[in-house]
Each structure stands twice: as structure tokens, then as C-alpha cells.
Amino acid sequence: MSESQLRADIVEVGRRMYARGYTASNDGNISVRLGSDRLLMTPKSVCKGFMTPDMMCITDLEGRKLQGERDPSSEMLMHLEVYRQRPDVQAVVHAHPPIATGFAVAGIPLDRAVLAEVLTTLGSIPIAEYATPSTKELPEAVRKYIKAHDGMLLANHGALTSGADLYAAYYKMETIEHFAKISLVARLLGGENLISREEVERLQGLRGMYGIAAPAPLCADPAELDVNDPALCQVLEAPEGTGERLIPDVNAVLKTASRTGEIRLTYGELTALIADAVKQLRD
């Protein structure tokens, strides 16, 4: 693909990210490989919704600027790390989509077996540990997960995706935000039903059938985890189903009443009960 086409594609991806509210102000950054030894990247301090093709920077794989009036993205180090760890990756997208970032802020990874499409494409979406943006801490946090994952949340920060081209990386960002929305709604409605481990294995087989190039296999059984290299599989919460394909969310069931008849309350519900009891005593 020509350099001018890639510049135009970065502009378009930036416009879509901004239009969908994945970035505010000058947030986010986008990069793509330009041949074997150079990168084309968004510049520092511009709104991704209003870029023009001439604004982009060209750097080498060490981050040295080769061309461009502006300086490269402040998150360049994170992008360089992804390209270093993943020779198959052609493009990297970083944004702060609000629902997915809400999960990243709450410390809740999107790693439950919930949607078949997400399982076959992205697999599980972990949270990379908090790191100060634009420092070398951030690439270190990303390094732990990038070998096994095309998409991840960044604790108290945002999300990061990669792909075989610019649009593939961008669509993964859309998938993460869409999945986060669905997960949030399901949790508000009482919790997700989970896809069973057996069904996850079936879906894993479909990946091969549809030629989906996932970076690592799904690990629905924690015993499959390679302790020497946890980065080589995607860990999922998918309970044993004894033949069932869908399993009720155990956590949601526990919240209302356990098998022993025990009732679990949230902190808010408990304080409301106590306040009510005290009021009745006073009256």
C-alpha cells in the first residue's frame, strides 16, 4: 500500500475514533508500518478528529524521527514495543473509549467467556498494569500481554489494539468498546450467563475453520496455563458445563442468595437497612 494511502487511512481512522467518542481533545494515537524499517505515526498534541495527511511523522523502529514537521506521538514508546514483540503486527491504535476505560479504571478485565464473536476474534481482553503514560513503564506493562493478545485495557488509562492493517487494528478497538457496553448492560441487569468451557473449545476450533489468526490459543482451563510463559495463552473465565453450553453467572447468583440461604448485600443496601432499623428504634 502506498504511503499516501496509509496517510489517508490514518486520517480516516482518527476521524472515526473521534466521531465515536473514543478520544477527547488530543487523546489517542495511531501508527502503521511503512515498509520493513519505518513507521508512519500520528504527531503529538493534535486532535485525532481533525488531522490532515501531511501532519504525520515518519520514524525508524527505534523512534528516531526521519521526516515530518511535528514530533511523533507521546506514546510512541508503547507503539515501538508492540512492533518489536509482534513482527506480524502492521498497525497499532490507542484510544480512551469511555466504557472500556471504565472497566480499566474499575480494574475489571474483559476476560469472561460471554460473546462467541469476541472469543473467536479477540479472545480475552486483559488489563495491563498501571504505568505512567508516555514513560517507558507503559511499554513494559504492555510487553507482558502483547504476545498473546491483539487487544488489551490499560489500567486507569484506556485501550490498545493491533492488527494486520490499520482498519483491522481500529475494528478491534470498536469490538472492545462494544463488548464493554454489552458487559456493562448485562451486569446492570443481574450478570452475564457465561459460555461454558466445552463451548469455548468448540469456538476455538472455529478460529481455524474461518482462518482467524489469533496470536495465542484460548485457555478456558487454568490448568492449561504454561507457568513458564503465561504470555502464550489467553486466559478466560469459562466454567465447566457438564454438557451445557451456557452457565449462569455464579457471582450474580451468589449476590442474591447462596445455596445455604445466605443473603449477600452490597455496602449501600446494608447501610440503608441499618439506617432504617435505627430510625424504627427511635420512633
Give the x-and-dash track for 53-92 against Zn ion (CB under 5 A): ----------------------------------------
Q: How far is the CB of 77 from Zn ion (least distance, A)?
A: 12
Residues between 149 and 178 that touch Zn ion (CB under 5 A): 158
Nearer to Zn ion, 30 or 110 (CB): 30
Please list the active-site residues: 75
Site for Zn ion (CB under 5 A): how many residues? Answer: 1
Cα atoms in the 13 Å half-sphere on the side-chain side of 28: 33
Determine, following the binding rule CB under 5 A, whether residue 139 of this chain makes contact with Zn ion.
no
Nearer to Zn ion, 158 or 191 (CB): 158
Q: How far is the CB of 147 from Zn ion (least distance, A)?
A: 21
Q: How far is the CB of 38 from Zn ion (least distance, A)?
A: 23
**Paired sense of beta strands 91-95 and 29-34, if any:** antiparallel
Nearer to Zn ion, 82 or 218 (CB): 82
Nearer to Zn ion, 109 or 158 (CB): 158
Q: How far is the CB of 18 from Zn ion (least distance, A)?
A: 14
Residues that bind Zn ion (CB under 5 A): 158
